[in-house]
């Protein structure tokens, strides 16, 4: 393939700047020493990070988001693994419909999901419960867990499992000792992606969140809608760095390109 | 995975996918159906939701010019965002594809990584950049290009810029996937037959990545049309799009039936766009590509 | 007067010399095969001629014109790629038309030449199909038609048969050779398959580690290889290690284990370590009492048109072949005799570096 010429690289530099500019700006402003939104021209200061530690609202929201993420990702993974096995193992009538159905939340606008869940909760009188919120997140993140798990179950050759069976292993042993280790990366990767998606979820959660169950993105959104102050940039910085670390782990584990694009390098 | 013969399949796949299916039927299908029903209810300020059935809400949406404006604005914005993503995304993906493996991985991470960061954070960044006292205006004034701040926040242009930032990674993903399947030797074949580099790009590479561009465009358009957070933050209260209008009715006016109707319309529009265009694209390209 | 000349071509990638001083002269209308194992530099050489790879040193001259630094799109060569590289989004006719469009051939003339090209490769009527709907063999023909439609003065074939099954490959060898003869076009084939090289080419250039180690007609290359490498690469052979015992103007006597072999027309110094070679088809089976050497049949394999027989003898294990003329050769375990003509023996200095002995 041709190498990139000067203009290509120039375009590329502009593009990358465009992509990281908002993130860099947010992080820069978090280190300001002033009391209002500004660049840290007087030198870096950690006052807003310290202020974060005293901000109970944000801390509660953060803890809730983490708990929510862990719960929904785990539940989603537990549901997705057997479903993925069913889809890749058996050619049963309705297989396409099942797959499409379980992946459908990807095609439904978050706003619509939010309204639908809110309506459902009010009819069933279960608004405000943590587990209800968890279930909504499970619906939203299961497609991600399923896709990644499917990617590793579909690629599995039948022969290895047949070999285990012919050597006397029971179906469960064959699954546990031969299949599971080989789909482990897909499963873990799917879990991590589900966690990230749950943690980041905003639009749908805005509808179903209550004062007792406010996630971090919702808390940030509420705050931003009123006024933007450096505290929110400090929160954002923490999120950005946290996500970067998770990304590195995800890349090391499964390969980020497989996660985001669906195919390996 | 071992695929067993049809006779032995029986109930196993259903047992395995059962739990997930049950959760989905109870928590996805049911809520959507309820919302559909809700959209057919009526509403009054005094009594709240009235359990009568009519298509009044839908008629209201179709007739009221307020909603016409919102739907048109949303569609127009989504179109603009899609065009920008195509124009920016295609060259960038090709440029990354031509890099050495080490740079390629790095820049894929840089360009696609933001997808894993919450949209609140990304949009916050744009709110800061686009404000009247924001960085872009400061820079423009410092360079002497303008002496008054250019209004970008709370304008459609601002929303389009921010949405493009949020959604262009999806275009990159779609084009990247198709680029990976290109045979390098096909480019060489074009050269050997006398085509210049530009002609090779125009007549050999571009047509082959079209399916990816199309599927990326469908995704970007659908996501842009149903976007909530970015238009809300950057557009502000006065620049309504479909998603924020639904929010207003539901959590503002508390006119749940109307809000539900808007949501249903958005859902149907989304499904038509995604499924319809995909089917069209598939038919067009079926005979040509694997 | 050479039509294509490669002078002193060197290509280095860092410290790795992919092409290590290659010289080649090809006459107009000649069919040359570059034959060698993977990594020998044959594909790199082809890509240099095509212009996709720039030689580090050396010159390439085609029909009097120095094309060493000319861009690939201006060289006007016909190339058939290993993966065929058909444009998947264009029909067969559009694929073939592409090169003609690049040359500004007017539309009416184009459709005539497309039909000609399709007739040449016996694919008439398939112009409106897409590559996806064609079989492997058909795709290869389209690739050939596309390369020939532009009437190039040089045709380059990069292992074009490697994706075809054996039977189809054999057919294509003959067909492609016939097309080349009919058009009289100078052709260079890159392959690792010696049968392919021998079937199609006027001369074979055997390549090893970036150089041409021998260039000869197929018959000469096979019968008189210049090195153990060439000998082993072109067909199967028996190799016996020995030392020169006696020599005069007429022949060499080589001691192999406890047997003395007479190799005529060879001259080596006394005591030299050499290998004596004889091709399996040159050995005849006789009954145990007659014959120059006695032995016992260790293995007997039937291949349809011939028998493969391995005979344990005082020289070691001797491999020979016998055409299937109806009567099977003696069974495994039988005592037999071996005979040959001394003219069929070859002598080469032993190359210590090569394991292929």
What domains appear along chain C, each with residue ranges and CATH number? 4-232 (3.40.50.300), 236-278+341-357 (2.40.50), 284-339 (2.40.50.140)
CB contact (8 A) between residue B226 and residue A112 = yes
Beta bridge partners of A186: none
Tell me what the mean pLDDT of segment B279-289 comes to: 74
Question: Domain range spanning residue B138?
Answer: 57-286
- Which pLDDT score, from 0 to 100, does residue C246 have? 79
Q: What are phi and psi of A10, to 5 degrees?
A: -65, -50
Q: Which string of DSSP letters, residue by residue, matches B254-269?
A: --HHHHHHHHHHHHHH
Contacts of B207 in chain C (CB under 8 A): 89
> Distance between CA atoms of B52 and B43, rounded to whole angstroms?
9
Whether residue C207 contacts residue C34, with contact meaning beta carbons closer than 8 Å, is answered with yes
> Distance between CA atoms of C95 and C97, rounded to whole angstroms?
5
Residue C125 backbone class (left: φ over 0; alpha: ψ -120 to 50; beta: rest): left
C71: nearest CA partner in chain B: B191
pLDDT at B52 over 80: no
The total number of structural domains in chain B stands at 1
CB contact (8 A) between residue A228 and residue B27 = no
- Which pLDDT score, from 0 to 100, does residue B15 have? 86
> Distance between CA atoms of C112 and C92, rounded to whole angstroms?
14
pLDDT along chain C (357 residues), means of 10: 90 90 94 93 93 92 92 89 88 92 90 93 92 92 93 92 87 92 94 92 94 93 88 87 80 83 75 84 88 90 92 91 90 91 86 48
- Which pLDDT score, from 0 to 100, does residue C1 have? 67
- Compute the nearest-CA separation of A60 from chain B (Å): 18
Contacts of C133 in chain B (CB under 8 A): 287
Contacts of A154 in chain B (CB under 8 A): 1
A179: nearest CA partner in chain B: B1
Beta bridge partners of C337: C286, C294
- Which pLDDT score, from 0 to 100, does residue B7 have? 46
pLDDT at B2 over 60: no
pLDDT-derived band at B290 (thresholds 50, 70, 90) equals very low
Beta bridge partners of C323: C306
- Could you say which of C50, C86, C130 has the minimum Cβ distance to residue B192? C50
**CATH number of the domain where residue B153 is located:** 1.10.3720.10
DSSP-assigned letter for residue C343? G
Residue A2 backbone class (left: φ over 0; alpha: ψ -120 to 50; beta: rest): beta
CB contact (8 A) between residue B120 and residue A202 = yes
Tell me what the mean pLDDT of segment B221-227 comes to: 93
Q: Please tell me which residue, A96 or B55, carries the higher pLDDT value.
A: A96
The class that CATH gives domain A55-261 is mainly alpha
- Which pLDDT score, from 0 to 100, does residue A17 have? 94
pLDDT at B260 over 50: yes
CB contact (8 A) between residue B31 and residue A11 = no
> Distance between CA atoms of B234 and B216, rounded to whole angstroms?
24
* Chain centroid offset of residue C299 CA: 29
- Which pLDDT score, from 0 to 100, does residue B288 have? 64
Interchain touch C–A (≥3 Cβ pairs closer than 8 Å)? no
- Could you say which of A19, A200, A203 has the minimum Cβ distance to residue B110? A19
A26: nearest CA partner in chain B: B125
pLDDT at B145 over 80: no
**What are the pLDDT digits (tens) for A136-175?**
999 999 999 998 888 888 877 777 777 777 777 787 887 7
pLDDT-derived band at A264 (thresholds 50, 70, 90) equals very low
CB contact (8 A) between residue C98 and residue B199 = no
Q: B119-130 vs B156-180: helix axis angle to the nearest 10?
A: 130
What ipTM did this prediction achieve?
Answer: 0.86
Q: Is B25 within the bounds of a domain?
A: no
DSSP-assigned letter for residue A103? H
- Picking from B3, B5, B22, B31 by the largest number of A CB atoms within 10 A of its own CB, the best residue to mutate is B31
pLDDT-derived band at B14 (thresholds 50, 70, 90) equals confident
pLDDT at A1 over 70: no
- Which pLDDT score, from 0 to 100, does residue C289 have? 84
**What are the pLDDT digits (tens) for B227-240?**
999 999 998 888 89
CB contact (8 A) between residue B247 and residue A206 = yes
> Distance between CA atoms of B242 and B228, rounded to whole angstroms?
8
Cβ count near C283 (within 10 Å): 23
H/E element holding B142? helix B135-142
B181: nearest CA partner in chain A: A263
Interface of B with A in 145-164 (CB under 8 A): none
Contacts of A260 in chain B (CB under 8 A): 112, 115, 169, 173
Q: Is B267 within the bounds of a domain?
A: yes
- Please classify residue C271 by burial: count the beta carbons closer than 10 Å to its beta carbon, then call 0-12 exposed, 13-18 middle and 19+ buried: exposed
Domain locations in chain A as residue ranges: 55-261
**What are the pLDDT digits (tens) for C136-186?**
899 999 999 999 999 999 999 999 888 888 888 988 999 999 999 999 999
Q: What is the side-by-side order of every strand in the sheet holding C335-339? A: C284-287, C335-339, C293-302, C306-313, C316-323
CB contact (8 A) between residue A22 and residue B95 = no
- Compute the nearest-CA separation of C80 from chain B (Å): 8
- Which pLDDT score, from 0 to 100, does residue A160 have? 75
> Distance between CA atoms of A228 and A27, rounded to whole angstroms?
14
Write down which chains contact chain C via at least 3 CB pairs under 8 A: B
Contacts of C51 in chain B (CB under 8 A): 191
CB contact (8 A) between residue B190 and residue C146 = no
> Distance between CA atoms of C266 and C248, rounded to whole angstroms?
9
- Compute the nearest-CA separation of B96 from chain C (Å): 21
Provide the b/e sequence for B121-158 (b: ≥16 CB within 10 Å). Answer: bbbbbbbbbbbeebbbbeebeeeeeeeebbebbbbbeb
- Compute the nearest-CA separation of B266 from chain A (Å): 8
Mean pLDDT of chain B: 86
- Compute the nearest-CA separation of B41 from chain A (Å): 13
Write down which chains contact chain B via at least 3 CB pairs under 8 A: A, C
pLDDT-derived band at B287 (thresholds 50, 70, 90) equals low
- Picking from B178, B185, B187, B194 by the largest number of C CB atoms within 10 A of its own CB, the best residue to mutate is B194
Write down which chains contact chain A via at least 3 CB pairs under 8 A: B
């Amino acid at each position: 393939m041709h190498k990139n010429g000067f203009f290509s690289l120039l375009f590329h530099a502009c593009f990358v700047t465009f992509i990281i500019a908002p993130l860099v700006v947010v992080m820069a402003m978090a280190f300001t020493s002033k009391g209002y939104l500004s660049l840290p021209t007087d030198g870096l200061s950690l006052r807003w990070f310290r202020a974060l530690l005293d901000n109970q609202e944000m801390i509660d929201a953060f803890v809730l988001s983490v708990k929510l993420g862990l719960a929904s990702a785990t539940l989603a993974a537990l549901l997705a693994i057997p479903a993925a096995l069913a889809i890749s193992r058996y050619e049963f009538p309705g297989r396409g419909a099942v797959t499409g159905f379980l992946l459908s939340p990807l095609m439904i606008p978050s706003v619509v999901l939010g309204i639908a869940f809110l309506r459902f909760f009010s009819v069933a009188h279960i608004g405000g419960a943590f587990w209800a919120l968890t279930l909504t997140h499970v619906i939203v993140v299961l497609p991600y867990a399923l896709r990644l798990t499917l990617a590793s179950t579909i690629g599995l050759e039948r022969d290895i499992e047949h070999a285990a069976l012919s050597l006397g292993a029971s179906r469960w042993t064959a699954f546990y000792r031969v299949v599971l280790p080989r789909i482990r990366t897909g499963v873990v990767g799917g879990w991590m992606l589900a966690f990230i998606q749950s943690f980041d979820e905003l639009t749908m959660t805005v509808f179903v969140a209550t004062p007792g169950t406010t996630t971090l993105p919702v808390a940030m959104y509420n705050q931003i809608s009123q006024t933007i102050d450096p505290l929110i940039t400090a929160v954002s910085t923490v999120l950005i760095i946290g996500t970067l670390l998770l990304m590195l782990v995800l890349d090391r584990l499964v390969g980020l390109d497989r996660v985001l694009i669906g195919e390996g390098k | 995975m071992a695929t067993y013969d049809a006779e032995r399949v029986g109930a196993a796949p259903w047992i395995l996918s059962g739990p997930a299916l049950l959760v989905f039927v109870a928590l996805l299908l049911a809520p959507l159906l309820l919302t559909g029903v809700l959209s057919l209810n009526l509403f009054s300020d005094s009594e709240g939701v009235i359990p009568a059935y009519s298509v009044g809400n839908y008629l209201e949406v179709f007739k009221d010019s307020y909603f016409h404006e919102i739907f048109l604005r949303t569609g127009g914005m989504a179109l603009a965002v899609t065009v920008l993503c195509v124009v920016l995304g295609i060259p960038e993906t090709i440029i990354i594809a031509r890099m050495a493996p080490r740079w390629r991985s790095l820049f894929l991470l840089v360009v696609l990584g933001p997808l894993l960061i919450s949209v609140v954070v990304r949009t916050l960044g744009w709110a800061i950049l686009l404000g009247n006292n924001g960085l872009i205006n400061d820079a423009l004034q410092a360079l002497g290009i303008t002496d008054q701040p250019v209004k970008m926040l709370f304008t459609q242009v601002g929303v389009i810029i921010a949405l493009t930032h949020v959604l262009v990674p999806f275009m990159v993903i779609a084009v990247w996937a198709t680029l990976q399947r290109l045979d390098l030797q096909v480019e060489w074949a074009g050269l050997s037959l006398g085509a210049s580099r530009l002609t090779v790009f125009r007549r050999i590479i571009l047509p082959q990545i079209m399916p990816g561009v199309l599927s990326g465009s469908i995704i970007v358009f659908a996501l842009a049309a149903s976007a909530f957070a970015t238009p809300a933050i950057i557009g502000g209260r006065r620049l309504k799009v479909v998603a924020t209008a639904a929010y207003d009715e539901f959590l503002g006016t508390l006119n749940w039936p109307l809000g539900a109707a808007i949501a249903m319309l958005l859902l149907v529009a989304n499904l038509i766009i995604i499924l319809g265009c995909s089917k069209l694209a598939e038919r067009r390209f079926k005979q040509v590509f694997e | 007067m050479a039509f294509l000349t490669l002078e002193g071509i060197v290509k280095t990638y860092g410290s790795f010399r992919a092409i290590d001083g290659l010289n080649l002269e090809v006459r107009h209308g000649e069919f040359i095969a570059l034959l060698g194992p993977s990594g020998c530099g044959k594909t790199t050489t082809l890509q240099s001629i095509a212009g996709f790879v720039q030689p580090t040193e050396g010159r390439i001259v085609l029909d009097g014109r120095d094309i060493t630094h000319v861009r690939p799109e201006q060289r006007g060569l016909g190339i058939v790629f290993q993966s065929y590289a058909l444009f998947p989004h264009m029909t067969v006719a559009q694929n073939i038309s592409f090169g003609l469009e690049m040359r500004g051939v007017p539309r009416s003339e184009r459709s005539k030449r497309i039909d000609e090209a399709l007739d040449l490769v016996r694919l008439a009527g398939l112009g409106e199909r897409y590559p996806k709907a064609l079989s492997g063999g058909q795709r290869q023909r389209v690739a050939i038609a596309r390369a020939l439609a532009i009437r190039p003065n040089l045709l380059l074939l990069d292992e074009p048969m490697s994706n075809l099954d054996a039977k189809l490959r054999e057919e294509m060898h003959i067909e492609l050779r016939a097309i080349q003869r009919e058009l009289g076009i100078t052709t260079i084939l890159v392959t690792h398959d010696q049968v392919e090289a021998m079937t199609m080419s006027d001369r074979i250039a055997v390549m090893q580690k970036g150089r041409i180690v021998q260039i000869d007609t197929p018959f000469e290359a096979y019968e008189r290889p210049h090195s153990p490498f060439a000998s082993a690469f072109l067909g199967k052979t028996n190799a016996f290690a020995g030392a020169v015992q006696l020599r005069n103007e007429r022949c060499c006597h080589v001691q192999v284990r406890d047997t003395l072999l007479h190799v005529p027309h060879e001259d080596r110094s006394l005591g030299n370590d050499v290998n004596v070679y004889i091709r399996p088809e040159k050995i005849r089976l006789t009954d145990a009492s007659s014959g120059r050497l006695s032995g016992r049949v260790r293995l007997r394999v039937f291949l349809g048109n011939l028998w493969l027989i391995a005979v344990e003898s005082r020289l070691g294990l001797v491999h020979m072949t016998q055409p299937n003329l109806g009567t099977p050769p003696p069974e495994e375990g039988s005592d037999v005799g071996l005979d040959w003509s001394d003219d069929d023996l070859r002598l080469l200095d032993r190359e210590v570096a090569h394991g292929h002995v």
